Amino acid sequence: MTLFLVTILLVLFLLSCSNRQKETADPSYYPEKPNIIFFIADDMYPEMFNCLSAGGEGENLTPNLDRLAAEGTILVKQYVVSPVCTPSRYNCLTGNYASRATNKQFLRKTEQEEGQTVIQWNSFITDRDRILPHYLKELGYTTGMVGKNHVIEVGGLEGFPDFNADPRDPEIAKRIEDNYRKVERSILNCGFDYTGGIYHNNPNFIGVSELAVQNLDWITLAGLDFIDKYHENEFFLYYATTVPHGPTEPERSWNADPKITARGFLEEVPEVMPARHTLPERLEQAGLGGTDKENVLWLDDALGALLSKLEEHNILDKSIIFFFNDHGQHAKGTLYQGGVLNPSIIWKAGGFPCGNVCEAKISNVDFAPTILELAGAEKLDKDFDGRSFKAALDGEQSESRESLFFELGYARAVIMGNYKYYAVRYPEYAKNWTAEERAGVLDRYNDGRTFRNMAIVNRDPEKPFSHLEVVPGGGHAENQSYGKKPGYFDPDQLYDLEADPGEMNNLANNPEYREILLELKAELQEYLDDLPGKFDL
């Protein structure tokens, strides 16, 4: 080849690269059939986000998350329908409310609760359900799921008689491996082409105590393997961390043995992220310290590893990344704003036409139809409870939501305008329990926590129920928010979110707000009429 021809080809290549850079730097440019990573974190507090005005600006070492926030769009009015792990993930992957779940455990619970649907950690996706990866595969995508499951139904898992059993014992090790394979098969049967690095549940609930530790490196190893295998085709990767959800003690999270996984023991330490011993060193160099800072940096390192892998394969500009925390943490297990209002971030090269902040009200049931529209779906399935917010990302005046619906445990709520109506209804059988029956329920709940070496949060059987569980004093998940609001134990609650964002003044019994109360009740009833089960207002 002559020098002249080589020069011409080099010039053409550089021009094409320049044009591509200009194109991807344009907010209005969307890559055709982009790779999509849905990064879902677990139990993050607002204070763990430098980018949130009510968060922890400058208090976290999260350069990769900061990059997404600076270059992408922050969805500041992102809401979560059902703010605990399982139903929130159900919302994201199905585009539907969790009360539409049809798994046996959920239906059995509904029957036990006198026909009232009770959304807890029980709304699982079955292999009969049509969910996001099914739709994406029809568009030519390869789909993968790594990390925390806690949403795909898995049948036939074998329990462990002793939480302190030795995972090296051949019989115990075989049971752990058999369970893991069942989880993998179930995920693949629900539309995913690839799975790996899976925690079926939170570490304390996967089997035995020695394996009840975090291993984000192992999860990330699987995520990077997926990208390596399928980067030449458009792909969807559902990447779910188990942190900063507990256990958060250093010896069981970032400083645990890196060879310990939910599947057993690795032969080699995964070397896909910065070494764990550098976490406190880097925080010290940055002048930062405090609770869980290492786990947040560890999570950010995982995000950084994914970004680097996309860059390695020269496909970062062809990718869209969602960063979503599964629910608000300050009022987890309730439908108060601290549980349901949960800003998220979406990134693509060049950003979005709407700018760095999107003010549209968005529900997490909206993710599935939005991802499908971004992936090129021309006819979005009308069966979704959610709807695409791509128009909002484009800065267009789209049809705004008149209201937002929420459901969890024995509570339902609706936000319309500046007001929220919040209803709590318990089944008659629980309200009529004797003192002995209440004590028995509490004892059984506490026995389950003792079995897993977990702390007891209440021993008083006379305490009222929480919104999430008919357990005296509530369960551990909602303990932080139990009884913290003056109206917490009121069956009907009405709040002016503009004047009272902390929801401290229940207006439901104020005659001046009677018309507003009735209007919001009617709006909530419309949602309830369209959903399975009953909930009497």
Place 83 in a pLDDT band, splitting at 50, 70 and 90: very high
Query: Average pLDDT in the 101-130 region?
Result: 97
Say how far apart CA 335 and CA 407 lie, in whole Å.
7
Domain ranges of the chain: 32-401, 410-529
Mapping DSSP onto H, E and C, the string for 250-288 reads: HHHCCCCCCCEECCEECCCCCCCCCCCCHHHHHHHHCCC
Q: Average the pLDDT over 138-162 and give the result.
A: 96
Position 13 confidence tier, pLDDT thresholds 50, 70, 90: very low
How confident is residue 26, by pLDDT bands cut at 50, 70 and 90?
A: confident
Span 491-518, mean pLDDT? 98
Question: What are the angstrom distances between the C-alpha of 388 and each of 369, 377, 379?
Answer: 5, 11, 11
Separation between Cα atoms, residue 107 and residue 136, nearest integer Å:
28
Model pLDDT, residue 54: 72
The 10 Å Cβ neighbour count of residue 170 is 8
pLDDT of residue 16: 43
pLDDT at residue number 283: 97
pLDDT at 63: 98
Q: Cα 47 to chain center, whole Å?
A: 17
DSSP state letter for 40: E
Residue 401 to residue 485: CA distance in whole angstroms: 27
Average model confidence (pLDDT) across the chain: 93
Nearest to 480 by CA among 340, 336, 332, 341: 332
The mean pLDDT of 13-42, rounded to a whole number, is 73
| pLDDT of 401 | 80
Has residue 185 got a pLDDT over 60? Answer: yes
Sequence-separated (6 or more) residues with CB below 8 Å from residue 196: 144, 146, 184, 221, 222, 225, 226
- Write down the pLDDT at residue 400: 66
> Please, which pLDDT band fits residue 381 given cuts at 50, 70 and 90?
low
Helix 293-312 to helix 216-230 angle (10° resolution) is: 10
Q: What is the 3-state secondary structure (H, E, C) of 171-231?
A: HHHHHHHHHHHHHHHHHHCCCCCEEEEEECCCHHHCCCHHHCCCCHHHHHHHHHHHHHHHC
Say how far apart CA 182 and CA 155 lie, in whole Å.
8
Q: CA torsion angle for 28, 50, 146, 221 (degrees, to 10)?
A: 100
In terms of Cα–Cα distance, which of 314, 316, 227, 217 is closest to 262? Answer: 217
Q: Is the pTM of this model over 0.85?
A: yes
Using the predicted structure, report yes or no on whether residue 147 has a pLDDT greater than 90. yes
Does pLDDT of 17 surpass 70? no
Q: What local confidence, expressed as pLDDT, does residue 39 receive?
A: 99
Contact 466/409 with Cβ under 8 angstroms?
yes
Say which amino acid occupies 512: E
Give the E-state strand segments of 326-418 in sequence order: 344-348, 357-358, 362-363, 404-408, 411-416
**Superfamily the domain 32-401 falls into:** Alkaline Phosphatase, subunit A (3.40.720.10)
Residue with the larger pLDDT of the pair 25 and 436: 436
pLDDT digits (tens, 9 = 90+) for 222-237: 999 999 999 999 999 9
Q: What is the pLDDT of residue 523?
A: 98
Residue 533 belongs to what H/E stretch?
Answer: none
Yes or no: domain 410-529 corresponds to CATH 1.10.3470? no
pLDDT value of position 2: 53
Q: Are 497 and 337 in contact (CB under 8 A)?
A: yes
What are the C-alpha distances in Å from 92 to residues 83, 260, 324, 396, 431? 12, 29, 10, 23, 33
Sorting pLDDT into bands at 50, 70 and 90, what band is 79? very high
